[in-house]
């Protein structure tokens, strides 16, 4: 069963850590805008003037994985609002993929402390304030509250392959 998991969460919440666990345990392919900003071994440097280029780069990468018939694709971006992940969801569904939304939760102060991109607390707070959750009618494939912390996700996936299989259908 071909699957796309769209990660959601604040910077520093642990989305990338969870995505890498899926990559390592289930041979997932990861699409992350962070990779655009760190290409060629450069340190992370966000440039809002290049955001459209970064979005197009992630779309192209995602399309490449779809065209190569990847079994499991992880979209590792903040996706705080539905419009941010709608394109990925639509493309995947049109190509017959099952789509899950996986929200990684962590208290905002912990996100701030853990964020490797040095996002100011005021920006994290702003992102948290605008965070949209799907309407109740659309929760069928929304993995919300399945696991509350990054540490519990790591423990669960490291010790219980059934958790992974329930999500990706393998």
Q: Which domains does the chain have, with CATH numbers?
A: 3-168 (3.40.50.300)
Report pLDDT for 146: 38
Sign of CA dihedral 108, 144, 167, 36: negative
Inter-helix orientation angle 150-159/161-168, to 10°: 100
- 52, two tokens: 């459209």
What's the pLDDT at 1?
85
Per-residue pLDDT of the chain (170 residues; tens, 9 = 90+): 899 999 999 999 999 999 998 898 888 999 999 888 888 778 888 888 999 999 999 999 999 999 999 999 999 999 999 999 999 999 999 999 999 888 888 889 999 999 888 889 999 999 999 998 776 545 455 554 433 444 555 565 566 555 554 444 44
What sign does the CA torsion over 94, 21, 29, 38 have? positive
47 Rama class: left (phi>0) / alpha (psi -120 to 50) / beta: beta
């Amino acid at each position: 069963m071909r699957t796309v998991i769209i990660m959601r969460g604040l910077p520093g919440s642990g989305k990338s850590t969870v995505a890498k666990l899926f990559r390592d345990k289930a041979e997932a392919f990861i699409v992350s805008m962070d990779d655009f900003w760190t290409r060629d071994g450069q340190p992370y440097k966000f440039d809002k003037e290049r955001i459209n280029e970064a979005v197009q780069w992630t779309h192209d990468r995602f399309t490449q994985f779809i065209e190569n018939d990847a079994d499991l694709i992880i979209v590792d971006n903040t996706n705080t609002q539905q419009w941010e992940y709608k394109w990925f969801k639509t493309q995947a569904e049109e190509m017959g993929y099952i789509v899950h939304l996986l929200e990684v939760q962590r208290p905002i102060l912990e996100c701030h402390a853990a964020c490797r991109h040095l996002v100011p607390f005021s920006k994290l707070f702003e992102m948290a304030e605008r965070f949209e959750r799907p309407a109740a009618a659309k929760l069928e494939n929304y993995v919300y509250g399945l696991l509350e912390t990054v540490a519990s996700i790591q423990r669960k996936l490291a010790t219980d392959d059934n958790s992974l299989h329930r999500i990706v259908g393998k």
